[in-house]
A and B are shown apart, each in its own frame.
Chain A
């Protein structure tokens, strides 16, 4: 087991982990605001990837250029989902909330399969294609740039939530909805904003992911599961937690795949989830 292989695995795990983190933070935000776990989260990632693909295939728009478009589209979808679906679900018992978003995910997944067949698709030769070489280590340029954009997104999100008035309103709503409402914060709009940001992040992640990952209807399933693990590990409601946990999971998955049978790497991550929620139900940084 050469050192190079290990470093290679660490780097690719880190980069992948940043993607997991960005996907996870959306979940975390939504749960922090209204205690709903979005079981359709992975499907929105899949939709972001397909949207990017069709922009590329039909309008010859490079993913890097369509990135802001996809992010906005997903953000708008988030607002739609909130007002159209989630508002109703909030009044229902937890069983209905879980099953509801779960059903949405199933429908989206099957819908994608119906519309676009289960075929795998790729975006060939995006603008950012290529490899970067650092010593004996090769890093795919799409992966590198994706990692960078994810990190940037986190910084932007962090800045927004902690330094702007709206962001503080989000925090307040997440911590105590009634108190926030009494202080004049439009909690309903904050919830919608949460969905917009959450799915917007997924839009960014999906858009960049499609530059080097296969695009197919089931792609969201595994990412969602990993995102659940990340949020549970990092703590529901914690942005920093999602970042740390996402990266950690990327590393565990990558190194696990290297040191053990690659087909079992998902099992390792799942084992991590169980260990975390049982031993430390609130996760590393979480409140729930």
Chain B
């Protein structure tokens, strides 16, 4: 080894393992945190709370797609499965057994993780397109099953009984949306923290390796199948949390809405638009698309939903054609190149 290399080695080793982000990023981050924490007191209208709650929930859901597709490269078109499981688990437990939705939240996560294993073990070994098709089929099948399953209300669905006595226990707040806001913020923050840690962990590195070059990954000791399934489980659990909160927020569940393809489409679009594989891409996508969708609903009324979908479809297509790595990828690339931070 040349002495040149030895000197460089000394210097390189002394570098921080996870270099500090640039000052402007840190400042921006601090401002964003402050804004998020104070949001309900700055914007007092109920609608603005509603908007932010949706953004936060979708940011969480989009991040879940990011874990399975952006980080580990498995294109799931059926994330709605876990969303529905989360919503139904907590609601069924509450309506039938009077169990607090907090416990329902955990049960939903568990069931979603199990579903991810059941679905993932046979299908994750398939090539990309085959897996995507399989998730489409399974998503459709699950919706059909729930539409005919009387115990969970079949096609008419379930109502969460309104109880004003103990809001925190029952996870229902009727005087204002603000508690919902902070809960959503907490859930999203937890999710993003998990993914942030993940990307700096051995598991996260190995996921990205198997995403890019599965053969090379295997030759470096990575158990491909196990990692894919684990990523799918984490993704499912995150989706499930969002589902439980959504159920408690809207208090009305039905298979048509919860297992809808639209949800699977949206979380995909948000992440692809914002930057698949990045940490904040999903949040950016959510921040752009949720207001777009909500306002189009206001302006166009009933047809707003259809116009939404037209827009989503075109957007996905355009992004995939012109900038498949999304908005943030360019930025993250530049930061990473200079500092080496993942």
Contacts and interface: CB of A to CB of B under 8 A. Distances in A.
- Pair from one complex: yes
Interface of A: 31, 37, 39, 85, 88-89, 92-100, 102-111, 113-114, 225, 228-229, 232, 263-264, 266-267, 270, 273-274, 277-278, 281, 288
B139 to A, nearest CB: 10
Contacts of B136: 225, 228
A228 to B, nearest CB: 5
Nearest to B147: A263
Nearest to A288: B127
A118 to B, nearest CB: 9
Interface stretch (B86-94, B162-170, B195-203, B302-310): B302-310
Contacts of A85: 317, 321
Contacts of A106: 265, 309, 312-313, 316
The SS class assigned to the A binding surface is: helix
B140 A94 contact: no
15 contacts: A85-B321, A94-B75, A96-B272, A96-B320, A97-B320, A99-B268, A103-B312, A103-B314, A107-B313, A111-B310, A229-B137, A266-B141, A273-B134, A274-B137, A277-B126
Contacts of A100: 316-317, 320-321
A95 B321 contact: no
Max chain B C-beta neighbours (<10 A), residue from A104, A263, A264, A277: A277
B73 interface: yes
B129 interface: yes
A19 to B, nearest CB: 19
A39 B306 CA distance: 19
B321 A89 contact: yes
Contacts of A96: 272, 320-321, 324
Interface in B59-83: 69, 73, 75, 77
Contacts, number: 130
Interface string B312-335: 111111001110100000000000
A232 B276 contact: no
B48 to A, nearest CB: 28
A97 B75 CA distance: 11
B85 interface: no
Given A88-B322, A92-B321, A99-B268, A110 B309 contact: yes
A282 B133 CA distance: 15
Given A107-B313, A225-B140, A266-B144, A273 B320 contact: no
A111 B313 CA distance: 10
B123 interface: yes
